[in-house]
């Protein structure tokens, strides 16, 4: 039997689908509201047949076996679907995976699940804890849905886990206890928020101290099990909403997500006080390409927002920033009954975000110029032309500068990106013609110089000929990609010669002209020589002419 058959046999489709949709028994089958994006329905038309091991939607007119179902719902490839199913079933399908490690993980997942249950039960036993949470935040349903727990004792959890036959080694590996000698629960007297990975397993806790006004948190340490950079809080539960609404809201920590979820924003997840990583983005990409960042506005998170924008740039994400009033987080907004949807509707683009952060309304013309230069630099760093165009128009609108001026300046602006060794190689690779073009772009005055000193103009390439003749007019008709390549190289030259004053680099320019003249001369001579071999008189005259001219400027 092959892997696919193995897996399809081992997995129970009812089990599998119930991880993504709420199934209700209906005769011998089960039914649910269709969990797939694009199919918004109120009455269930999605059926699951345990005997046939398939799911069928009467609205989408599609059927799924387990693998196809995972591929479609996770929006992933076959290979990933196999891995996901492998996690669900424990069947070894890939020799690259270490089965032993998997077994250990499986057990530690069940240990965590038991710990979650323990904390949850403890939470219910202490009305004053429940009241504490209730008074400050949330309904009983939310406490239940999000597995709120309470660590009520130093040693009870250890005893409870021992009664479930976990050995000491695994218990200590769980990072829940101070050490095995004391067997003390390190989260004692704290409110527990369990954290799940993308497969719905519990892998860590965030614990908030009670009876103190200052919010103080203790988090599970990073481990094999819990890698913050790879976990978005509540993603597993949020994914249907994310695909259906085709955007995701990313908050900075659990409580913000719980608040927003409880207020009906089911496409919300949290990064757990970590920066948004490439791994997070891979998880998000499977579900949507529209990302709404909702981070706090303190310095650290301003940095986090900037770094997230930077990461998502040119990676086909559409980024929006939800801009909350000073010192408020989503939890504050929800608790005071403000309309959070309004903030989503008014979410800003990254460019708008930079403008807002600069408080440009309070500044004068000089500041406006400076800001414009910075913004053009940012636009420059985007690779998609439509996106660039969108931002340039936005800049024109928000800064109240005419579109023509913005576009004109954009076309002249130079890059200020860091350089590296590669750029050096690129500059070395350039032909003298390219160098001439790029020095012209660097400084228009150089154009005059080249025009005066370049011989044999008729033999130049078309681009350079046109540039020398029509300069700006020609540059403006060039296609964007070509222009940008020119500017990119001009930046490299600029950085190479960081301490050179271009007013006084005529020696450098003369060198390039000499090189170019010599190149053209050689090319011409070899062409003419070939023609002269056929006793072409005209070629002979041209040749004599050429050699004489070259002699005048010292070319042999």
Count CA atoms closer than 13 A to 390's CA, side-chain side: 12
- Residue list 502-541, contact with Zn ion (CB under 5 A): none
Whose Cβ is closer to Zn ion: residue 59's or residue 65's? 59
| Distance spanning both ends of the chain, measured CA to CA | 78
Q: Identify which range of 34-42, 93-101, 261-269, 303-311 contacts Zn ion by CB under 5 A.
A: 34-42
Dihedral pair phi/psi, residue 55, rounded to 5°:
-120, 145
Give CA–CA dist 265/534, Å, rounded. Answer: 83
Q: What angle do CA 319, 325, 331 make, to 5 degrees?
A: 85
Question: What is the rounded (10 degree) CA torsion for 290, 295, 301, 307?
Answer: 0
Binder among 34, 55, 81, 250 for Zn ion (CB under 5 A):
34
Q: Identify which range of 57-65, 124-132, 246-254, 408-416 contacts Zn ion by CB under 5 A.
A: 57-65
Binder among 4, 12, 39, 328 for Zn ion (CB under 5 A):
39
- Residue list 172-191, contact with Zn ion (CB under 5 A): none
- Examine residue 170 and tell whether it contacts Zn ion (CB under 5 A): no
Q: Identify which range of 58-66, 261-269, 502-510, 520-528 contacts Zn ion by CB under 5 A.
A: 58-66
* Closest to 74 in 3D by CA, of 282, 258, 275, 231: 282
Give CA–CA dist 536/426, Å, rounded. Answer: 41
Whose Cβ is closer to Zn ion: residue 47's or residue 258's? 47
Kindly state the smallest distance separating residue 36's Cβ from Zn ion, in Å: 5
Q: Identify which range of 28-36, 77-85, 156-164, 391-399 contacts Zn ion by CB under 5 A.
A: 28-36
Whose Cβ is closer to Zn ion: residue 55's or residue 512's? 55
Kindly state the smallest distance separating residue 43's Cβ from Zn ion, in Å: 12
Give CA–CA dist 437/487, Å, rounded. Answer: 10
Whose Cβ is closer to Zn ion: residue 57's or residue 464's? 57
Kindly state the smallest distance separating residue 70's Cβ from Zn ion, in Å: 16
DSSP-derived secondary structure for 489-543: HHHHHHHHTTT--GGG-HHHHHHHHHHHHHHHHHHHHHHHHHHHHTT-HHHHHHH
Kindly state the smallest distance separating residue 61's Cβ from Zn ion, in Å: 8
Whose Cβ is closer to Zn ion: residue 48's or residue 255's? 48
Contact 456, 527 (CB under 8 A): no
Kindly state the smallest distance separating residue 39's Cβ from Zn ion, in Å: 4
Q: Round the CA-based radius of gyration of the chain to a whole number and report it.
A: 33
471: left (phi over 0), alpha (psi -120 to 50) or beta: left
Provide CB contacts within 8 A for 164, sequence distance 6+. Answer: 111, 114
Whose Cβ is closer to Zn ion: residue 34's or residue 138's? 34
* Tokens 């024109």 belong to residue: 396
Reported for 106-109, long-range contacts at CB under 8 A and 24+ positions apart, including other chains, are: 107/166, 107/170, 108/170, 108/173, 108/174, 108/225, 109/201, 109/202, 109/203
Residues that bind Zn ion (rule: CB under 5 A) add up to a total of 5
Kindly state the smallest distance separating residue 35's Cβ from Zn ion, in Å: 8
Kindly state the smallest distance separating residue 247's Cβ from Zn ion, in Å: 20
- Residue list 106-135, contact with Zn ion (CB under 5 A): none
Q: Identify which range of 13-21, 56-64, 240-248, 459-467 contacts Zn ion by CB under 5 A.
A: 56-64
Inter-CA distances, 380 with 352, 356, 383, 550, Å:
15, 19, 8, 43
Give CA–CA dist 486/99, Å, rounded. Answer: 54
* Tokens 């955007």 belong to residue: 247
Q: Identify which range of 29-37, 144-152, 226-234, 522-530 contacts Zn ion by CB under 5 A.
A: 29-37
Whose Cβ is closer to Zn ion: residue 63's or residue 217's? 63
Kindly state the smallest distance separating residue 57's Cβ from Zn ion, in Å: 3
Whose Cβ is closer to Zn ion: residue 17's or residue 34's? 34
Kindly state the smallest distance separating residue 51's Cβ from Zn ion, in Å: 21
Binder among 59, 229, 332, 484 for Zn ion (CB under 5 A):
59
Q: Is 31 helix (H, G, I), strand (E, B) or coil?
A: strand
Q: Cα dihedral sign for 329, 331, 337, 343? A: positive
Q: Identify which range of 49-57, 152-160, 248-256, 378-386 contacts Zn ion by CB under 5 A.
A: 49-57
Q: Identify which range of 32-40, 249-257, 329-337, 368-376 contacts Zn ion by CB under 5 A.
A: 32-40
Kindly state the smallest distance separating residue 42's Cβ from Zn ion, in Å: 12
Q: Identify which range of 35-43, 143-151, 169-177, 494-502 contacts Zn ion by CB under 5 A.
A: 35-43
Binder among 60, 466, 525, 555 for Zn ion (CB under 5 A):
60
Name the residue whose CB lies closest to Zn ion: 34
- Examine residue 65 and tell whether it contacts Zn ion (CB under 5 A): no
* Number of DSSP helices (H) and strands (E) in the chain, helices first: 26, 13
Give CA–CA dist 245/41, Å, rounded. Answer: 13
Whose Cβ is closer to Zn ion: residue 73's or residue 176's? 73
Binder among 7, 32, 57, 513 for Zn ion (CB under 5 A):
57
Whose Cβ is closer to Zn ion: residue 57's or residue 171's? 57
441 burial via Cβ count (<10 Å: 0-12, 13-18, 19+): buried
Q: Cα dihedral sign for 525, 527, 533, 538? A: negative
Kindly state the smallest distance separating residue 94's Cβ from Zn ion, in Å: 31
- Residue list 448-467, contact with Zn ion (CB under 5 A): none
Kindly state the smallest distance separating residue 60's Cβ from Zn ion, in Å: 3
Kindly state the smallest distance separating residue 333's Cβ from Zn ion, in Å: 34
Burial of 80-97, coded b for 16+ CB within 10 Å and e otherwise, reads ebbbbbbbbbeeebeeee
Beta strands in 10-152 (DSSP E): 24-26, 29-32, 46-49, 54-57, 62-64, 149-150
Q: Residues in the site for Zn ion, rule: CB under 5 A?
A: 34, 39, 57, 59-60
């Amino acid at each position: 039997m092959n892997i696919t058959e193995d897996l399809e046999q081992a997995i129970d489709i009812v089990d599998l689908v119930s991880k993504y949709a709420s199934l209700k028994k209906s005769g011998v089958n089960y039914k649910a509201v269709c969990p797939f994006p694009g199919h918004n329905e109120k009455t269930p038309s999605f059926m699951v047949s345990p005997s046939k091991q398939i799911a069928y939607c009467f609205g989408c007119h599609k059927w799924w076996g387990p693998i196809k179902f995972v591929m479609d719902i996770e929006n992933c490839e076959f290979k990933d679907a196999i891995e996901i199913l492998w996690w669900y079933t424990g069947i070894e399908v890939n020799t690259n995976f270490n089965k032993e490690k998997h077994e250990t993980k499986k057990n530690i997942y069940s240990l965590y699940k038991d710990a979650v249950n323990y904390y949850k039960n403890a939470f219910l036993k202490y009305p004053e804890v429940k009241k504490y949470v209730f008074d400050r935040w949330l309904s009983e349903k939310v406490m239940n849905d999000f597995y709120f727990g309470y660590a009520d004792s130093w040693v009870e959890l250890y005893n409870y886990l021992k009664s479930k036959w976990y050995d000491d080694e695994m218990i200590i590996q769980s990072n829940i206890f101070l050490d095995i000698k004391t067997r003390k629960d390190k989260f004692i007297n704290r409110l527990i928020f369990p954290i799940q990975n993308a497969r719905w397993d519990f892998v860590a806790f965030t614990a908030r101290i009670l009876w103190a006004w200052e919010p103080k948190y203790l988090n599970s340490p990073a481990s094999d099990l819990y890698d913050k950079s790879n976990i978005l809080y509540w993603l597993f539960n949020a994914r249907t909403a994310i695909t259906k609404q085709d955007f995701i809201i990313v908050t900075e920590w659990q409580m913000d997500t719980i608040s927003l979820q409880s207020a009906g924003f089911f496409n919300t997840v949290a990064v757990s006080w970590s920066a948004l990583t490439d791994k997070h983005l891979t998880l998000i990409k499977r579900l949507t390409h529209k990302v709404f960042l909702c981070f706090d506005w303190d310095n650290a998170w301003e940095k986090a927002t900037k770094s997230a924008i930077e990461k998502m740039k040119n990676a086909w994400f559409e980024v929006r920033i939800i801009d909350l009033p000073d010192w408020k987080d989503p939890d504050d907004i929800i608790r005071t009954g403000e309309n959070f949807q309004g903030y989503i509707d008014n979410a800003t683009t990254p460019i708008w975000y930079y403008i807002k952060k600069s408080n440009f309304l309070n500044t004068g013309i000089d500041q406006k110029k400076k800001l414009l230069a910075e913004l053009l630099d940012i636009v420059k760093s985007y690779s998609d032309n439509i996106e660039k165009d969108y931002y340039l128009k936005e800049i024109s609108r928000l800064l109240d500068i005419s579109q023509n001026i913005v576009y004109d300046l954009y076309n002249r602006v130079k890059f200020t990106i860091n350089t590296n060794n590669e750029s050096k190689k690129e500059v070395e690779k350039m032909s003298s013609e390219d160098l001439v073009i790029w020095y012209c772009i660097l400084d228009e005055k150089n154009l005059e110089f080249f025009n005066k000193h370049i011989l044999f103009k008729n033999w130049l390439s078309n681009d350079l000929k046109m540039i020398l003749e029509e300069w700006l007019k020609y540059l403006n008709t060039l296609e964007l990609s070509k222009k940008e390549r020119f500017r990119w190289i001009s930046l490299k030259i600029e950085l190479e010669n960081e301490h050179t004053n271009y007013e006084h680099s005529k020696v450098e320019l003369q060198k390039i002209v000499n090189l170019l003249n010599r190149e053209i001369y050689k090319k011409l001579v070899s062409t003419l020589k070939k023609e002269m071999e056929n006793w072409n008189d005209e070629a002979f005259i041209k040749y004599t002419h050429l050699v004489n001219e070259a002699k005048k400027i010292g070319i042999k």
